[in-house]
A and B are shown apart, each in its own frame.
Chain A
Amino acid sequence: MEQKTFFIRAEFCTGCGICQLACSLVKEKEANPAKARIFIERVVMDGLMIPHICLNCRKPSCIEACRRGAITKDAQTGWVTIDKEKCNNCMLCVSACPFSAIVVTPEREVLLCDVCGGNPKCAEMCPTGAIQFADRAKGVAGSTDKAAVNIFQT
């Protein structure tokens, strides 16, 4: 079965944060980028933006790190989700994630993207295609290294 996940192309991210606003409205019923399941890291004086969101790894290190069995990966869809009933916000998963994709709110609560059940609002509303939700075998990701070099080259 086709498995879909996120592909990030940082070189196209304009830093508008529409994805964060959409996510917080969907998930938290408020406008609050700090509580979105996607985080935009802003470097080079807001000249390079790097979106961080759960990439639904094949072998997620967050699952290995979690001592409460709160994080699971669905065998069919491949999506990695967190069970907030079991999670105690210890943040071991946050340290374990190699992509800085697990968000910690100002109240120290751990948040993980659940791909909106397969129709992620962030990807729907990204104006440049910097975040795409596509078949794992077909999607194209851009390397952050390339984006970083390019911002000073014409």
Chain B
Amino acid sequence: MERLAIVDLSTEQVECRDIPEEIQRMYLGGEGLNAYLLYNHLAPGVDPLSPENVLIFGAGLLSGYDVSTSRFEVTAKSVEGEGGFGTSNAGGHWAAELKFAGFQHLLIKGKASRPTYLWIHDGEIEFRDASFLWGRDTYECQELIQDDLGDKHVQIAKIGQAGENLVRFANVMHGLKRAAGRTGMGCIMGSKLLKAIAVRGKQGLKPNDPERLLEVYTNHYRQITSTKIYPVISRYGTLTIFSVQNQSGMISVKNNQYNYFEEAEGHLDDEIFEEQYKTKTLACFGCPLRCSHRYRINSGPYAGVWGEGPEFYMMAGFGPAVGNADWDCILAANTLVNRYGLDVGSSSGYIAWLMELWQRGIINEKDTGGLVLEWGNKDAILSLLHQMARNEGFGGMIGQQASKMGEIIGKGSDRYLYTQRGMMHESPENTRASRATTLAAATTSRGSDHLKGRCALEFFAMPPEVLAKIYGRPIASDFRSWDGKPWMAAWTQHFTTIADSLGYCKFATIWPGSTHNLKYEQFCETINAVKGWDVTPAELMETGERIWNLERMFIQRETGVLREGDIPPSVYFQPQPLEPNKGEKLDRDEYDRALDEYYALRGWTSEGAPTSETLARLKLEREPSHLI
């Protein structure tokens, strides 16, 4: 039986509950059940940084059972932006270990009286003093906890100094690079004086039909390792996306002023990383994709710096977005953001914005405390990261104020600050030329979310028959066309929500553009072998829609910002200046029409609110139903 632990940090009490089968089937686990728990356990209108906010950790329903199901979701009322639905997930080994330790979900409330870490092992939860960890970065934290517990096999989710210092875009980190980023989940963890959650489990997970599960497990392994994307992703990870994005003119350069970065040619690519820096290939639990790398910088000003990662997001965020073409600097920044527990997308987004303000003469050395924010100035980039995490100087203000800095700086600086739902637009992202991806990313629950929004199959000019077979409706092959794209956006959002609720890595699914990877049919095979249910793809799609609507209800309840929050950043409505795809932009009328169609498909009003019929159809009319 899957279990939930309700952990009260104020009283140091724990209450364990079995998760009713009915609720599992309606919300699965991970993101879905987290959304249900948040909607039911959080009182409306609380300050996200108060002890009343709840921080929920959830392993996927299938985490620990199938290949590539390593993900856990962290959910709370958001502290970055306007305070809506805050959620994020990460891979690694933590989710499976939490399941082996006897829990699927943790709901953490209250605030500890001193720095605390949780030690969860085989059904037990202990509150331990974390004074010796406070002020330590995530790498140090991991070593010190493993030493404290005398076990090198403990898996740890933790915060760095950024979370302790309440940086609005602080992450929950796991291992050396696994990051649950965006919406400030690490900031909330810091506000509760919770430094880390260490887990170790030796309890077995007992599937309903072990023979069938073994068969399914083997088939899924073969399926994932026989796709065309497998040899590439297992060698370079997401770094391989960089050249594709750059050479198709779909990347953000210098805070989205340009869409192609010539300086990157011959400097920033995945092969150079492999030859010069990569020292080891690593994988998440149960995953053959092994897309993570250890690296070490051997010479130059950052010689000796080592770490894990980086992803495309890092490469583009601390590369073209800030006008930098130096791999060393990107890797040095990667180690810093991971040690401090800062979000890559937000931190590099703010740096890019400040550099544009510098370029335009809106800020100068007096404002920055002496930092020279010229494009690609490596010292300035790294200094700002130190300042953000430690809450010192100009960077410290950015970390504390986030998008409110536009008002504080004034002088028209807002015009170049690209936010959505009050949150910094993801720095590397420039998808204005591709319609479904733009619509899907802009209408996500947390806003500006490529992980939910990327409709990768849009980019490959696939024949309409193939697209119709996957999506069940006609979709235009051209990424610039709007035909069928609102449906493609909604379909992708449901699909990714299901993957995040089951714990599947999206790179093992059709999401990144590999049509032969895992789909709903394969998800059903595992669910039915594990739970003994008779779930169908149609039911899963409806489950995805249910979770999506519940998140929308939460946003409606907490912020009231619906349609006006679903608009991409203003720069997307301006033409791109460079080839390829020169001149591409979003047309506002076209976008509004697509949004109308998207709302109509969802059964939402033209303002973007779910209608009562839609809520009834999805069995949401009684929420909050307090069934667990």
Chain A residues within 8 Å of B, Cβ to Cβ: 14-18, 21-22, 24-26, 28-35, 42-43, 45-48, 105-106, 125, 127-128, 150-154
The answer on a CB contact under 8 Å between B285 and A154 is no
Minimal Cβ-Cβ distance residue in B for A128? B290
A18 interface neighbour in B211, B221, B298, Cβ under 8 Å? B221
The answer on a CB contact under 8 Å between B210 and A25 is yes
Chain B residues within 8 Å of A, Cβ to Cβ: 64-65, 67, 93, 100, 122, 139, 142-143, 152-153, 175-176, 201-207, 210-211, 213-214, 217-218, 221, 225, 234, 276-288, 290, 294-296, 298, 306, 308
16 other A-B residue contacts (CB within 8 Å) besides A46-B175, A153-B296: A16-B284, A16-B288, A18-B221, A21-B286, A22-B217, A30-B204, A31-B207, A31-B213, A34-B100, A34-B201, A42-B153, A45-B139, A48-B280, A128-B281, A151-B280, A154-B278
Smallest distance from the beta carbon of A112 to chain B beta carbons, Å? 18
Residues from chain B with Cβ under 8 Å of A154 in the complex: 276-279, 295-296, 298
The answer on a CB contact under 8 Å between B306 and A152 is yes
Residues from chain B with Cβ under 8 Å of A43 in the complex: 152
Smallest distance from the beta carbon of A46 to chain B beta carbons, Å? 6
Supposing A31-B65, A32-B100, A34-B202 touch, asked if A42 and B207 sit within 8 A by C-beta, the answer is no
Residues from chain B with Cβ under 8 Å of A151 in the complex: 279-280, 294
Smallest distance from the beta carbon of A125 to chain B beta carbons, Å? 6
B283 interface neighbour in A15, A21, A125, Cβ under 8 Å? A15
The answer on a CB contact under 8 Å between A31 and B221 is no
Smallest distance from the beta carbon of B253 to chain A beta carbons, Å? 29
Minimal Cβ-Cβ distance residue in A for B274? A154
Smallest distance from the beta carbon of A105 to chain B beta carbons, Å? 8
The answer on a CB contact under 8 Å between B283 and A16 is yes
The answer on a CB contact under 8 Å between A18 and B286 is yes
Smallest distance from the beta carbon of B270 to chain A beta carbons, Å? 15
The 7 A-B residue pairs with the shortest CB-CB distance, nearest first, are A32-B204, A30-B204, A127-B288, A34-B202, A16-B283, A14-B283, A29-B210
The answer on a CB contact under 8 Å between A125 and B218 is yes
A-B contact pairs, 11 of them (CB 8 A): A17-B93, A21-B217, A25-B213, A32-B202, A32-B203, A45-B175, A48-B280, A105-B202, A125-B218, A150-B279, A154-B298
B142 interface neighbour in A15, A24, A45, A150, Cβ under 8 Å? A45
Smallest distance from the beta carbon of A11 to chain B beta carbons, Å? 8
Smallest distance from the beta carbon of A8 to chain B beta carbons, Å? 16
Minimal Cβ-Cβ distance residue in A for B278? A154
The answer on a CB contact under 8 Å between B286 and A16 is yes
Q: How far is the CA of A121 from the CA of B200 in the complex (A)?
A: 25
Supposing A17-B286, A151-B279 touch, asked if A45 and B204 sit within 8 A by C-beta, the answer is no
Minimal Cβ-Cβ distance residue in A for B211? A29
Q: How far is the CA of A33 from the CA of B139 in the complex (A)?
A: 25
Q: How far is the CA of A46 from the CA of B290 in the complex (A)?
A: 13
Minimal Cβ-Cβ distance residue in B for A12? B281
Residues from chain A with Cβ under 8 Å of B234 in the complex: 127
The answer on a CB contact under 8 Å between B279 and A152 is yes
Residues from chain B with Cβ under 8 Å of A22 in the complex: 214, 217-218
Minimal Cβ-Cβ distance residue in B for A124? B218
The answer on a CB contact under 8 Å between B143 and A45 is yes
Residues from chain B with Cβ under 8 Å of A106 in the complex: 122, 202
Residues from chain B with Cβ under 8 Å of A42 in the complex: 152-153
Smallest distance from the beta carbon of B208 to chain A beta carbons, Å? 11
Q: How far is the CA of A34 from the CA of B204 in the complex (A)?
A: 8
Q: How far is the CA of A43 from the CA of B287 in the complex (A)?
A: 19
Name which of B65, B201, B294 has the most chain A CB atoms within 10 A of its CB. Answer: B294
The answer on a CB contact under 8 Å between B276 and A35 is no
Residues from chain B with Cβ under 8 Å of A24 in the complex: 204
The answer on a CB contact under 8 Å between B296 and A152 is yes
The answer on a CB contact under 8 Å between B204 and A35 is yes
Smallest distance from the beta carbon of B346 to chain A beta carbons, Å? 26
Minimal Cβ-Cβ distance residue in B for A126? B288
Minimal Cβ-Cβ distance residue in A for B209? A29
A33 interface neighbour in B100, B175, B206, Cβ under 8 Å? B100
The answer on a CB contact under 8 Å between B290 and A25 is no
Q: How far is the CA of A32 from the CA of B225 in the complex (A)?
A: 23
Q: How far is the CA of A85 from the CA of B56 in the complex (A)?
A: 46
Minimal Cβ-Cβ distance residue in B for A125? B221
Name which of A21, A42, A150, A151 has the most chain B CB atoms within 10 A of its CB. Answer: A21
Residues from chain B with Cβ under 8 Å of A30 in the complex: 204-207, 210
Residues from chain B with Cβ under 8 Å of A47 in the complex: 176, 280, 282, 294, 308
Q: How far is the CA of A80 from the CA of B153 in the complex (A)?
A: 28
Residues from chain B with Cβ under 8 Å of A125 in the complex: 218, 221
The answer on a CB contact under 8 Å between A32 and B205 is yes
Residues from chain B with Cβ under 8 Å of A34 in the complex: 100, 201-204
